[in-house]
Amino acid sequence: MNTLSNKTSIPTILGGLTLAAGMLTAPVSEAASLKVTITNLTQGIYFTPFLVASHTDDVSLFTVGTQASLALQQMAEGGDISGLVAAVADAGGQSVANPHEGLLAPGAMVNEFMLDTQDDTHLSLTSMLLPTNDGFAGVDSWAIPETAGTYTIMVNAYDAGTEANNELLVPGAGMPGMLGIPADPTMMAGSGGTGVAMQDYNTNVHIHRGSLGDDMMDSGKSDLNNKVHRWLNPVLKVTITVE
């Protein structure tokens, strides 16, 4: 069995799934050509390069309630999708990496792109949220419908559980084991924070609490701005046309 994370005893948990009327029980496709668009729904969060992948039903990029793989940790802490891309390829899946060719700004959209799923039956997606310690947006093993049509997935943000959410900007952070937020693309963060949390009590992949932030630019606990960097789920809208 090809697995990026073991799904034998843990059911798939998807947040914010919305399907077109009448398509909730559509059968799973044996082969499909997909058109995909992605929209950033947040006010002040950027997304690192996306990985959109198709695969069989025994493969998962992540599983809620279990510990993150090293490849998932690399993506969630530093935006590095290379490990996940390689794992999808090793499992025989198909993928589109970095379709936007860079960061996706608040309110912006990844223009429509194609994914040829061949014989794959499920779709997954990941991207890191900036600025966060180890927050990522994820779709885990969405069953590709056989019925042609347009489907919408409202995507939640998850915490990889691999790093404490101290909410401090640290130059050079982003590698596993180096605590801190690697960058703030909005350029509206502060400095001199003492740290919001120094321990992550839930070390499994879980729903992200959101960034707390504060309103002090050169002190306080967080370097993040609570008027800019906070968010509520869902954080992305993914529109998929099955042909």
End-to-end, the C-alpha distance of the chain in Å comes to 29
pLDDT at residue 21 in the model: 31
Q: What angle do CA 222, 206, 91 make, to 5 degrees?
A: 120
What letters, b where the CB count within 10 A reaches 16 and e where it falls short, cover 76-102? Answer: bbbbbbebbbebbeebebbbbeebbee
Q: Which domains does the chain have, with CATH numbers?
A: 17-160+236-242 (2.60.40.2130)
- Residue pair 195/168 in contact (Cβ under 8 Å)? The answer is yes
pLDDT at position 201 over 70: yes
**Best CA proximity match to 167, nearest among 145, 146, 141, 189:** 189
Give the model's confidence band at 144: pLDDT under 50 very low, under 70 low, under 90 confident, else very high.
very high
What is the signed CA dihedral for 110, 111, 117, 121, rounded to 10 degrees? 50
Tokens of 177: 């084991």
pLDDT value of residue 10 = 23
The pLDDT value recorded for residue 15 is 35
Choose among 21, 2, 36, 67: nearest CA to 142.
36
Q: For residue 121, count other CB atoms closer than 10 A to its CB.
A: 21
- What pTM did the predictor assign? 0.87
Percent of the chain with pLDDT over 70: 87
pLDDT digits (tens, 9 = 90+) for 69-128: 999 999 999 999 999 999 999 999 999 999 999 999 999 999 999 999 999 999 999 999
Q: Which two tokens stand for residue 60?
A: 């998962």
pLDDT digits (tens, 9 = 90+) for 159-173: 999 999 999 999 889
**Mean pLDDT, range 55-65, rounded to an integer:** 97
* 130: alpha, beta or left? (left if phi > 0; alpha if psi -120 to 50): beta
pLDDT of residue 200: 84
Does the pLDDT at position 218 exceed 50?
A: yes
Do 129 and 235 meet the contact criterion of CB atoms below 8 Å apart? Answer: yes
pLDDT tens digits, residue range 37-51?
999 999 999 999 999
* β-strand partners of 96: 52
Whether the ω angle into residue 131 lies within 30 degrees of 0, i.e. cis, is yes
Mean pLDDT computed over 135-145: 97
